[in-house]
Structure 1
Amino acid sequence: MDRTVLCIDGGGTKTAGLVADVHGALHTLTPAEGCNPQDRLGWQNALGSLFDQAPGIDFAVIGMPGFGEVPKHDTEAVNFIKTKISADHLIINDVELAFRGAFPDRNGVLVLAGTGSMAIGQAGGDIRRSGGWGHWLGDEGSAFWIGQQALSRAAAELDGRTPHVGFAAKLADALDAPNHPFGLLDWAMQDGSSRARIASVARTVDDLSLSGDVTARSILGAAACHLTALAQSVLHTSQPWAHAGSVFQSTHITDAMTQSLGPAKPPATSALVGGVLHAATLAGWDTSPAWTDKVMSQGTHL
């Protein structure tokens, strides 16, 4: 069997994996649910299912959500991973993993906004980060934050605390919420009010924004301001910036941030591809330009 390396990109909503062999061929693993030890019960099952699909590897790079933030959770992750893999491995924060893929030269700032939000950058020294405090303390501009803001504004409108503008009805209809006075609460609680469920509302908010809804546009505008502030807190003059994560599917947000920060630079490659490249280097493989180019070219189609 060919020698292989593994990268796992864990997140709050999804855990993905990629294997590369010595010939530069890539194999995508079947993804699992999120694996954040800070808020996901059963995170070990999600993470473990990726390791089970990639036996006998030479080296693994694992991007864990929240890694390096809460020592207790770090210890749990380190100990669990040791039970699943005997090969040498590196565990880093999932946002650092994405940064390595976006800026292989380490010169730039990556703004990541999926379920949570964070900016990370480097300019010839230590990696700097801003945000990533979780939805209890922050995550402003994230998909969760957008979803929570939308549901909160809808609730205020239903109560009469804010003017009736029709946003609550449009949101409830788009989410197919149960048809009763507390239908939005009913909808939100159907999955235990998980972060992923609330974060999924962000896509609906963007759809309503595209249809011209003023409240939805206001929420996305505020999200863009928060994400811009994250970038500016770690951005050096003239440094490029890039973005990653589901929130940036919204042209409203990317357009607003471009006005403040200038055009975003496309990431050099994905977190997963950057991760297998790094794993191969750490494994001591001969990562020739031809091998690297082959991996990079395949990565554009993943």
Structure 2
Amino acid sequence: MDELVVGADLGGTSTRVTVATVGGARLVTVEGGGGNPTTHGAERAAAELAATARRALDGLEPGRVRAVVLGVAGRATLDDERAAGAFREALAAVGISVSPRYVGDAEVAFSSATAGAEGTVLLAGTGAMAVRIRDRRVDATADGLGWLLGDEGSAFWMGREAVRRAIAAICGTGASTALAGAVCGRLLGDSGGGSAERRRSGLIRAAAGQPPIELAALAPLVVAAEAAGDAVAATICDDAAARLVGLIGEVRATGESAPLVLNGSVVREPASPVGRRVRELIAGRFGGDVLAPADGLVGAAWLAVRSIRPEWPDQRLTEIHARLAG
């Protein structure tokens, strides 16, 4: 009987688990609730992983699982032995006896897009960072500092800029923009009523009255306004793209030919406002193929295969990667 591997993505809003054979045949993929230990705490996240893995393994033999790789943003949380122990125990309760390997989201994104060992990853979703990958591990990182210290060009940054530009337009200190009505509608439930001072004060209170990272939810307003031809929204997208490509430049040499992987809601799609701009700037500055992973679980499952079959030749492992991705 074929040996099995498990790859998982522990996200803030969902836990995704795939089960595959060592030969690269994906048997099942299941999604559960949020399972990021930084966001939800280790015990709750481990319980969600166990519940999702149990559904994924329904009808399969957990004892056949030979490797588990968990992709997780902020994986340093799992350096704590108690947190790591909660995940081991949760998997053991499902019948998986092997200890999981914890891999950062940059490494999983890179190995989801390519079977290569070296290159660069730009992650731009709620947060933002650029990472140089060597031997499929993080070698250097630019930004990824969180909303207080960085995340330049991220969805959070775009949302914050949307509020700032909306306030400036309302108060007459900045250019007119459709973002004024859109942001007021989202945060105040009112797209234009009341005095400028009332709306200014209301936006400040609304933004400060929620966790700062929630401003990332306003990024789609910028995307919609840019698509409608709003000049201020276009400027925000220009600035976001320039900042993100600047991060790449901190960890990647201009003449480097290794793959450059783009992942995250802000840049993954080539037709998105920031994704398009980033690709245009990359084309004029960096070499190498620009890739976007179709499914982050590919990297987790493939790294699990590599961990138990390190002696297999690169060609065979590359074929398995293609099978998992296909």
Same fold (TM over 0.5): yes
**Unmatched runs of 5 consecutive residues or more in structure 1:** none
Aligned to 1:28: 29
Letter of the structure 1 residue corresponding to residue 325 of structure 2: G
Aligned to 1:243: 262
Aligned to 1:133: 145
Give the CA deviation at 1:291.
8.6
Runs of 4+ in structure 1 off by over 6 angstroms are 285-292
User: Equivalents in 2 of 1:203, 1:34: separation in Å?
Assistant: 24
For 2:266, what is the secondary structure of its paired residue?
Answer: helix
Identical pairs, percent: 27
User: Equivalents in 2 of 1:242, 1:162: separation in Å?
Assistant: 36
Aligned to 2:219: 202
Per-residue CA shift, 1:83-116, capped at 9, x if unaligned? 2224122112121221222332223211111111
User: Aligned residue pairs: how many?
Assistant: 292
- CA 1:66–1:169 in structure 2 vs 1: closer, same or farther (change >3 Å)? same
- CA 1:255–1:120 in structure 2 vs 1: closer, same or farther (change >3 Å)? same
Aligned to 1:19: 19
User: Equivalents in 2 of 1:123, 1:82: separation in Å?
Assistant: 28
For 1:136, what is the secondary structure of its paired residue?
Answer: coil
Alignment of 1:173-212 (within 5 A): 173=185, 175=186, 177-179=188-190, 181=199, 184=203, 192-193=210-211, 195=213, 197-212=214-229
Aligned to 1:9: 9
- CA 1:211–1:112 in structure 2 vs 1: closer, same or farther (change >3 Å)? same
Letter of the structure 2 residue corresponding to residue 241 of structure 1: L
| Contact 2:131 2:140 survives alignment (8 Å) | yes
**Unmatched runs of 5 consecutive residues or more in structure 2:** 55-61, 92-96, 194-198
Give the CA deviation at 1:20.
1.1
| One of 281, 284, 294 as aligned partner of 1:260 | 281
| Contact 1:117 1:132 survives alignment (8 Å) | yes
Larger Rg: 2
- CA 1:116–1:184 in structure 2 vs 1: closer, same or farther (change >3 Å)? same
User: Equivalents in 1 of 2:307, 2:138: separation in Å?
Assistant: 20
- CA 1:65–1:225 in structure 2 vs 1: closer, same or farther (change >3 Å)? same
| Contact 1:178 1:184 survives alignment (8 Å) | no
| One of 136, 144, 163 as aligned partner of 2:156 | 144
User: Equivalents in 1 of 2:138, 2:48: separation in Å?
Assistant: 33
| Contact 1:16 1:30 survives alignment (8 Å) | yes
> After the TM superposition, which of the residue ranges 227-236 and 144-153 deviates more from structure 2?
144-153
| One of 122, 132, 155 as aligned partner of 2:167 | 155
- CA 1:33–1:161 in structure 2 vs 1: closer, same or farther (change >3 Å)? farther
Per-residue CA shift, 1:161-209, capped at 9, x if unaligned? 4354443113334x3841263665676578x4363x4222212211110
Letter of the structure 2 residue corresponding to residue 153 of structure 1: R
Root-mean-square deviation (Å): 3.3
Give the CA deviation at 1:42.
4.3
Alignment of 1:1-302 (within 5 A): 3-22=3-22, 24-33=25-34, 35-37=36-38, 40-42=39-41, 44-55=43-54, 56=62, 57-68=65-76, 74-75=79-80, 77-85=83-91, 86-122=97-133, 127-173=139-185, 175=186, 177-179=188-190, 181=199, 184=203, 192-193=210-211, 195=213, 197-236=214-253, 237-239=255-257, 240-248=259-267, 249=269, 251-262=272-283, 265-267=290-292, 270-284=295-309, 293=319, 296-297=322-323, 299-300=325-326
| Contact 1:13 1:115 survives alignment (8 Å) | no
User: Equivalents in 1 of 2:73, 2:250: separation in Å?
Assistant: 21
> After the TM superposition, which of the residue ranges 138-147 and 8-17 deviates more from structure 2?
8-17
- CA 1:36–1:152 in structure 2 vs 1: closer, same or farther (change >3 Å)? farther
User: Equivalents in 2 of 1:44, 1:10: separation in Å?
Assistant: 13
- CA 1:215–1:74 in structure 2 vs 1: closer, same or farther (change >3 Å)? farther
| TM-score, normalised relative to structure 1 | 0.81
| Contact 2:152 2:244 survives alignment (8 Å) | yes
| Contact 1:141 1:223 survives alignment (8 Å) | yes
Letter of the structure 2 residue corresponding to residue 90 of structure 1: R
For 2:229, what is the secondary structure of its paired residue?
Answer: coil
| Contact 1:277 1:292 survives alignment (8 Å) | no
Letter of the structure 2 residue corresponding to residue 19 of structure 1: V
| Contact 1:188 1:198 survives alignment (8 Å) | yes
- CA 1:41–1:158 in structure 2 vs 1: closer, same or farther (change >3 Å)? farther
| Contact 2:127 2:147 survives alignment (8 Å) | yes
> After the TM superposition, which of the residue ranges 237-246 and 5-14 deviates more from structure 2?
5-14
